[in-house]
Amino acid sequence: MDFVLACVFAYCSPYVTNTVAELRGQPAHEFVNLLTSFPFLAGAALAAVPILLRQVGFYHKQNMQRVSTALRQLLGFAAYYLCGIGLYLTVEETSLYHSQALLVNLVGITLVVFLRFLAVRLLYLHRNDALTHRRQVILAGAAADIEKGWNAFPEYWTRNFNVVGRIEPGANSEQEVQKLIEEHSVNGLYVFGGLAAHHAFENIILQCELQGIDVNVILGNRMGTSLRADINEVGESRMLVLCSTPAYSWPRAFKAIMDRIVALIILICSSPLWLLAAIGIKLSDPKGPVFFRQKRSGVYGRVFHMWKFRSMYVDAEARLDEVKAKYGNEMNGPIFKLTNDPRIFKFGHFIRKTSIDELPQLLNILCGDMSIVGPRPLPVYETEAFPKIEHRRRLSVKPGLTCFWQIEDRSDNGDFDNMVNKDLRYIDEWSLWLDIKLFFRTIPAVLFRKGAK
């Protein structure tokens, strides 16, 4: 339906474009229809409409999501489409009229899709006022689990269903379920109580499966809100996968490619700074090497050697306990931070404040140990000292040069829990667009030395 509506609007868009031009005091242009003038390009662009809408999750809840959610998804669709238009205008020389027509198409298609969403949603809501048009479902589980679980669902969603029966574990439950299925044309079973309830109602679930009835197992609050459920098939076996990290997808594959491309570009552009750092370090402490290599915790704690320009004297690691005892720690937790660390030589303070000391980590990115954006990799001895096991979830993604904490707090905030929460926020909210935003937000943070010490 959205594809057809997009085609209809694209066909009518020249009229709209000329009307907009006249309202802005511009002369009407020659009537050119994009569908007939550029049939293959226009066809591909229109075919991308439902694909992009699916990509942003517009069809995920069958048009029963909140209006605000639909608007946010349509704005995401428009952003993707606008990027495509921008790429086309960059490659292909076009007239002002064609550019206006493309933008009118974007706005118009977004608007007609939104109006279609509202119309279908109102139709669903109106139909669901009658019990006969609702989905007939059975709820299974302990009474307390059913009450708590069903009431936790939003009202705009539960009104799509008519609960014809509630089944608790019992000897005659299978016969009772079959009777409800036949009398009420049941098409859904909701099982409350987590994976334990799945085993308790195993026979009923099989009974519904044999009759083609959807089975929904509610995992429960104890499973954690960060978990994402999926089904994986290996041979003839099926597995329920509960994952709390971003799923491997085309955006993640693209991120891995762009990490290396961007790292290589930055490495080439920053080559004069490498020479400056090498000279400054050798003049400050001639006895030591230019580079500093340290064992850091990578993905899931896998140890790798992270490279930096050396900013401390050669005996810095041996003096760590002495400095901690004498000067204390500005961070509350296993991470050690000290503004005027006596182990840092003068030029070392400069390359730290300007973040020049981090440049060799571009080599780690090229090797695949790190990413441009991600939680900062910590020394192995610091991750081993994590006070809570949930802190290790920050190790479930590839570490990076920058993330929320480096941009928003950096050394200005010594709260270890705050740093971990920001890293977990990045993992839970990850998207390619988030990586792009964090990368560009890092630039002013580095230039203006926000929180650098």
Which pLDDT belongs to residue 60?
Answer: 74
Q: How open is the CA angle 406-410-415, to the nearest 5 degrees?
A: 120
Note whether 197 and 140 are within 8 A (CB). yes
Which pLDDT belongs to residue 134?
Answer: 78
Which pLDDT belongs to residue 48?
Answer: 84
Distance from C-alpha of 173 to C-alpha of 167, rounded to nearest angstrom: 7
Residue 240 zone, left/alpha/beta (φ > 0; ψ -120 to 50; rest)? beta
- Say what percent of the chain tops pLDDT 90: 27
pLDDT interval class at 418 (50, 70, 90): confident
pLDDT interval class at 292 (50, 70, 90): very high
- Residues with Cβ within 8 Å of residue 244, at least 6 apart in sequence: 224, 226, 227, 228, 393, 396, 427, 428
Is residue 235 predicted with pLDDT exceeding 60? Answer: yes
Q: What average pLDDT score do residues 432-441 get?
A: 91
Is residue 128 predicted with pLDDT exceeding 60? Answer: no
Note whether 412 and 376 are within 8 A (CB). no
Residues 196-214: tens digit of each pLDDT: 888 888 889 999 988 989 8
Is residue 151 predicted with pLDDT exceeding 70? Answer: yes
Which of 336, 339, 331 minimizes the C-alpha distance to 416? Answer: 331
Q: How open is the CA angle 131-135-141, to the nearest 5 degrees?
A: 110
Residue 182 zone, left/alpha/beta (φ > 0; ψ -120 to 50; rest)? alpha
Amino acid identity, residue 123?
Answer: L
Is residue 371 predicted with pLDDT exceeding 70? Answer: yes
Please enumerate, as own/partner, the contacts of 21-27 that have beta carbons within 8 Å and a separation of 24 or more: 21/97, 21/100
Round to the nearest angstrom and report the end-to-end CA distance of the chain: 57
Q: Give, for 447, the enclosing helix (H) or strand (E).
A: helix 432-447
* Matching CATH number, 131-223, of 3.40.718.10, 1.10.8.60, 3.40.50.720, 3.40.50.300: 3.40.50.720
When mean pLDDT is compared over 99-103, 171-175, 223-227, 270-274, the highest value belongs to: 270-274
Is residue 220 predicted with pLDDT exceeding 80? Answer: no
Which pLDDT belongs to residue 21?
Answer: 67
Token pair 């400056």 is found at 276
Of the two residues 52 and 304, the one the predictor is more confident about is: 304
Distance from C-alpha of 362 to C-alpha of 368, rounded to nearest angstrom: 10
Is residue 363 predicted with pLDDT exceeding 70? Answer: yes
Amino acid identity, residue 330?
Answer: E
Q: What average pLDDT score do residues 211-220 get?
A: 85
Is residue 428 predicted with pLDDT exceeding 60? Answer: yes
Q: Which residues of 40-73 are buried (b: 16+ CB within 10 A; e: fewer)?
A: eebeebbebbbebbebbebeeeebbbeeeebeeb
Is residue 36 predicted with pLDDT exceeding 70? Answer: no
Strand, coil or helix: what is 304?
A: strand
Distance from C-alpha of 282 to C-alpha of 437, rounded to nearest angstrom: 37
Which pLDDT belongs to residue 429?
Answer: 87
Where along the chain do the CATH 3.40.50.720 domains lie? Answer: 131-223
Average pLDDT of the chain to the nearest whole number: 83
Is residue 171 predicted with pLDDT exceeding 70? Answer: no
> In this predicted structure, which of 354-363, 368-377, 399-408 has the lowest mean pLDDT?
399-408
Q: What average pLDDT score do residues 427-439 get?
A: 90
Taking the whole predicted model, whether its pTM rises above 0.75 is answered as no
Distance from C-alpha of 361 to C-alpha of 382, rounded to nearest angstrom: 19
Distance from C-alpha of 146 to C-alpha of 139, rounded to nearest angstrom: 7
Which pLDDT belongs to residue 35?
Answer: 63
Note whether 386 and 400 are within 8 A (CB). no
Strand 303-309 to strand 291-297: parallel, antiparallel, or no bridges (unpaired)?
Answer: antiparallel
Is residue 92 predicted with pLDDT exceeding 90? Answer: no
Which pLDDT belongs to residue 316?
Answer: 86
Angle between helices 2-23 and 96-127 (to 10 degrees): 130
Which pLDDT belongs to residue 90?
Answer: 76
Which pLDDT belongs to residue 61?
Answer: 63
Which pLDDT belongs to residue 221?
Answer: 57
Which pLDDT belongs to residue 398?
Answer: 94
Residues 244-291: tens digit of each pLDDT: 777 777 888 899 999 999 999 999 999 999 999 999 999 998 888 999
pLDDT interval class at 13 (50, 70, 90): confident
